[in-house]
Amino acid sequence: MGRPFLRSIPHASRSLLNIRYRFVIVASIFALFQQQQHLYFSHRISLAAKYSPTTFDCDPETLHARIKRPDDEDTHFQQDIIANRASWKVLGKGWEGTVYVYKDSAIKMFLPRSPLRNCASGQTNERWPTEIPASLFFGGTTLDMKIETNQSQSGTYRPLDGFRQVNGFFKTSIIPFDPPQWHLVTPLLRDGNLDSLAKKLSKHHPGSTLRERDSTFRPAFNRLLATLETLHSSGYCHDDIKPGNIFVRDSQYWVLGDLGNVRNILHPYHSSRLWKSNSQLADCRANDAMRLLKSYLKFLRSSMDSDAFNTELYEGQEPLVKLFWWALTDARTMSAIELQRRSLIQDPESSGKNITEEASFAPVLSQHPWSLIPRQTALRYAADSVLMTRMSETIARWWAMVWLFGVPVPEVCGFANDDSQLSQYLS
């Protein structure tokens, strides 16, 4: 009565079943533990790779010497900025810190939420933001690298003009009793970045077509490709190209800024699990080139009617649209110089006479899963997806238990003689 099924099973068989159940439970727990350990170690290795330093092919003293200003003048410059702290005006805030404006200077005060990757010049056990040595290395250096440009875009422009120069840098505490923070001072570009330019255009010139917008800004885009090729030819990748990191000198000249994520081409981060999980291309140079093209399209999209842009992207025959789908077919091997060559072919001013038939066309939207939703909504989601440049490490931080053990940081500095130490750490 009450348990007829168990009564029908011999006692020895019931004991065997209980042992099997227990074995399955223990094996499942062990498998889950093994999986958790695998995820823990693989994500910590990925984060260690991401936060390993960028090596520069010069010593710290050489980097510091690239600010061509006498020491006494440099000291006066710094003292003037610190003494007038009350006159600083907040320009913007971000993940890495706060940017202020003082006279004709932009002052970036670093309050990083992530570990600093590089060791500071002339300091012992002192780290500084990678943006400082990277900006010194590229901003106003004597490198002499060229890229082919068409006659209408040549003149006095040099690829190195596409980087922000450095007016100064220092570490100090602005507020008494607060810990000292690193500051980077660069010339103020009053037109801001592509995000702010897009807002201005959208407000004051909302009726422009894609062809009109593209005709105005394509020369600046092509020049920025020259800057990117200079970066790649020097052995580095930007790794964080997006509209907010492209600054406007004027309508014809843009500047590649925020060099805090600059890494060597063969940096271990570019082959890490984290890099791959964010759908980045294996070759960081191709990844930079495609991110720059996507950033340009996102800027144009934000500056005009987004529905009209989305329709053009998937249904139109504009030169820029053809350029994008043409480049996307060869994204894995794309370079800045090849993208510039194709951009000059698909010129918005050519009126179709130089546009070749080798450009690919957009995929038919009806082949996508979101073809079942309203047309404009489907176009918006499709455009968001194909132009995505966002990178996240949230999942990696969770599995690596950063909240408990912190971010793994290699104990090496970012200069040429540290490669062997870095490789040993990551092996």
At 151, list the tokens: 């006659």
Written as one string, the DSSP assignment of 301-367 is HHHS-HHHHHHHHHH---HHHHHHHHHHHTGGG--HHHHHHHHHHT-TTSTTTT--TTS--PPPGGG
pLDDT per position as a tens digit, 317-369: 899 999 999 999 999 999 999 999 999 999 998 755 555 555 455 676 665 56
Domain contains 1? no
Domain contains 358? yes
Residue 166's domain comprises 47-426
Number of domains forming the structure of the chain: 1
Domain contains 68? yes
The alpha carbon dihedral of 407, 408, 412, 418 has a sign of: negative
Alpha-carbon gap, residue 379 to 368, rounded angstroms: 10
CB 243 within 8 A of CB 300: no
- Please indicate whether residue 241 or residue 35 has the higher confidence score (pLDDT): 241
Domain contains 316? yes
pLDDT of 151 over the 60 cut: no
Task: Give the confidence band of 155 by pLDDT, cuts at 50, 70, 90.
Answer: very low
pLDDT of 157 over the 50 cut: no
pLDDT per position as a tens digit, 2-51: 555 555 656 556 566 677 777 778 778 878 877 888 789 999 999 999 99
Highest-confidence segment of 137-146, 224-233, 353-362: 224-233
CB 49 within 8 A of CB 426: yes
At 318, list the tokens: 């504009």
Domain contains 18? no
Arithmetic mean of pLDDT over the chain: 83
Alpha-carbon gap, residue 336 to 222, rounded angstroms: 9
Domain contains 8? no
Nearest to 198 by CA among 294, 306, 299, 320: 299
Alpha-carbon gap, residue 88 to 102, rounded angstroms: 5
Give me the count of residues in the chain: 427
pTM of structure: 0.85
Alpha-carbon gap, residue 32 to 35, rounded angstroms: 5
pLDDT per position as a tens digit, 273-328: 999 999 999 999 999 999 999 999 999 999 999 999 999 999 878 999 999 999 99
Domain contains 31? no
Domain contains 197? yes
**CATH number of the structural domain spanning residue 229:** 1.10.510.10
The alpha carbon dihedral of 393, 399, 404, 405 has a sign of: negative
Spatial CB neighbours of 288, under 8 Å, sequence gap ≥ 6 = 228, 231, 232, 237, 238, 239, 241, 336
Long-range interactions of 413-416: CB distance < 8 A, separation 24+: 413/53, 413/118, 413/119, 414/53, 414/54, 414/55, 414/56, 414/117, 414/118, 414/119, 414/130, 414/133, 415/55, 415/56, 415/58, 415/59, 415/60, 415/119, 416/55, 416/56, 416/57, 416/58, 416/59
Element (H, E) at 398: helix 394-399
At 409, list the tokens: 């940081």
Element (H, E) at 251: none
